[in-house]
Structure 1
């Protein structure tokens, strides 16, 4: 009998455990010893349940909250139906940045948007963080692009985009070693949580994705539980949290909770990261209500925060229209539309996006600089970068609000 199958009679099975042996190398002849010998240490790893066919038996309170949050997500998405162009990329980047911030990876909006264009690696810690957040944005976009294909293959694709350029971790491959959370990086002994043996990972992820594709479950609750299960499987050596939150976005798109934009739910989770980690631990003990309730609460917070960002961007665009005097057919209006969604540009990137001659784009950029819409500065010791400090400040205010409890 497969002991990883859930036993009957429990609404949701708790994670079980199995004994493992960790083989470490330690010096045995004093503190200056250079000779090391293997040492075997006993520990336990997790055995997550299979969930593909399980029902979600929620408390009435958490079920009602999840349903209300689902309706709010749909309404917010629909409210932007006619204004997708500026808000879809800004909200996508905001979600990627918030998801990264949960892992203590922070950078300003200016740093992230500059890193998108620079296409370079290295530099100080802030620049490296910005490059990691750019990779997370790619993973989020890959998740949305793959939302019609909720399979193990799509999860690997998300992770591959996330880990591009990482010299220490293989992107797009299941782990082949033990991973754990807490206490020590030297061994899993005494860890807060030890993920399942790597040999279990492929089958567990296949089972999870069957659960994710089901159409007979309450959608936001299904998304929350799938995320908790993914984090319990921990299928990669690094990037599990960011990939798992990208999977949440893919599921929300697949379940039609969102259609036009990415609602930055990770920005809601940031308001209570301790509660988020605790909810994952409670899930492993057989409690699904906590993670479902927290995901619903985070959705409400994310929508409130995103609405404020939308108001900020609309106000900035309105002030631009008052500042700029140009013919209705002037290319400056197309450039302003671009800046609302891409507030850091180079002359080449703007010309290419708008299909304009580079000579003409310099004229338009200089016009906006003279009107106070743009500032310019050489970055990365190469190109001149043009930026809208107003849009960047609005994005930074969004990030600051994300870190506060509602």
Structure 2
């Protein structure tokens, strides 16, 4: 595939140079190489396989909630957040008061994605939707004083450096930005012209090139990948998340995005398809693995007496959604009104090697983790 000229850098009245997108999509027909199209076929086949495997899961929404946490953590970590998926689960479970402050970034990402998936029931994917998504991502978040949540920027932004004059990349100024956004909205609405995975990849790179917000563009753009893969009909549930792949290959991710702006569209898409193949393959194996874990642990609980088994099954089913707990959690989930009764349930699950104490050095305020299940979702 020859270079596709997405835009050009132009000198502005203020003296700095900014990237001005051309009409989008390009007027010339997309002409992808045979090798890229073959890779797309492989990626799409794996996405279809993932869709089939996850539909067979008895608790697909729990599987989804874990992947949402993982993607939220990975996407936020790309931007410098230090908190992890484990920290987020602990914050949700209220098993500790000492987790990193930037857990807040990940929690807002989760909130934004869940909001977006629900909002699409009434509102089409559009510029209005993207603004609402950005608002949910940043409104009330830890550091929002310069982000103007839910509003497209009215001033120039830049990436790297201390000003547009020495920046690594300067997105289009507001007037050119609005024109580019109108083209972008038409592109995402246009169905059938491009193979879906290629369309989603191009949409992400174009959005990051436009950079329409003062802050949160990367996270918003990665949210849109998940949302587009779902609404384009490739998946029954939005279970394909690429942020962990982008985090793993962070420098290549940014290099290929820069290359896209210089016309290297196919190299960017090749990178994205590699990500789809890698992540879909991992998710398929994860789905199979947690099905095995579920069967094994249900069988273990089946060896208990009737009353113990009933409370054990009840807790195990809840652990798929919230796999870090303490005594208070178990009291909320069961009919036990005393800490002693709840602790007995935990002790039985420890004996069965389902739960383990998260931090062995802690003697007061202990928490317990469903380690095998959590590890199934961790990056290799």
Q: Secondary structure at the match of 1:127?
A: coil
Alpha-carbon distance in structure 2 between the residues aligned to 1:117 and 1:198: 43
Match in the other structure for 2:64:
88
TM-score scaled by length of structure 1? 0.78
- 2:117 is the counterpart of 1:141: no
Match in the other structure for 1:102:
78
- 2:159 is the counterpart of 1:176: no
Q: How does 1:6-155 map to 2 (within 5 A)?
A: 12-20=4-12, 42-52=15-25, 55-83=29-57, 84-118=60-94, 127-147=100-120, 149-155=124-130
Provide structure 1 residue ranges, at least 5 long, that are not aligned to the other structure: 1-9, 23-41, 402-406
Alpha-carbon distance in structure 2 between the residues aligned to 1:347 and 1:199: 57
Q: Go from structure 1 to structure 2 and tell me whether the alpha carbon gap of 1:390 and 1:289 turns closer, same or farther (over 3 Å shift).
A: same
Once the 2 structures are TM-superposed, how far is the Cα of residue 189 of structure 1 from its aligned partner? Answer: 1.4
Q: Go from structure 1 to structure 2 and tell me whether the alpha carbon gap of 1:143 and 1:199 turns closer, same or farther (over 3 Å shift).
A: same
Q: Cα RMSD between the aligned structures?
A: 3.2
Once the 2 structures are TM-superposed, how far is the Cα of residue 297 of structure 1 from its aligned partner? Answer: 0.2
Provide structure 2 residue ranges, at least 5 long, that are not aligned to the other structure: 360-364
CA contact (8 A) 1:347 1:358 kept: no
- 2:351 is the counterpart of 1:359: no
CA contact (8 A) 1:115 1:127 kept: no
Q: Go from structure 1 to structure 2 and tell me whether the alpha carbon gap of 1:177 and 1:315 turns closer, same or farther (over 3 Å shift).
A: same
Once the 2 structures are TM-superposed, how far is the Cα of residue 218 of structure 1 from its aligned partner? Answer: 0.5
CA contact (8 A) 2:90 2:96 kept: no
Return the match for 1:255 from 224, 232, 237: 232
Aligned length: 360
Alpha-carbon distance in structure 1 between the residues aligned to 2:311 and 2:34: 55
Q: Go from structure 1 to structure 2 and tell me whether the alpha carbon gap of 1:170 and 1:326 turns closer, same or farther (over 3 Å shift).
A: farther
Match in the other structure for 1:344:
324
Return the match for 2:165 from 189, 205, 230: 189
Q: 1:202-240: CA deviations, max 9, x gaps? A: 332232122112211210000000000000001111111
Match in the other structure for 1:295:
272
Once the 2 structures are TM-superposed, how far is the Cα of residue 61 of structure 1 from its aligned partner? Answer: 1.5
Once the 2 structures are TM-superposed, how far is the Cα of residue 175 of structure 1 from its aligned partner? Answer: 1.7
Return the match for 1:368 from 343, 346, 369: 346
Return the match for 1:279 from 245, 252, 256: 256
More strand by share: 1
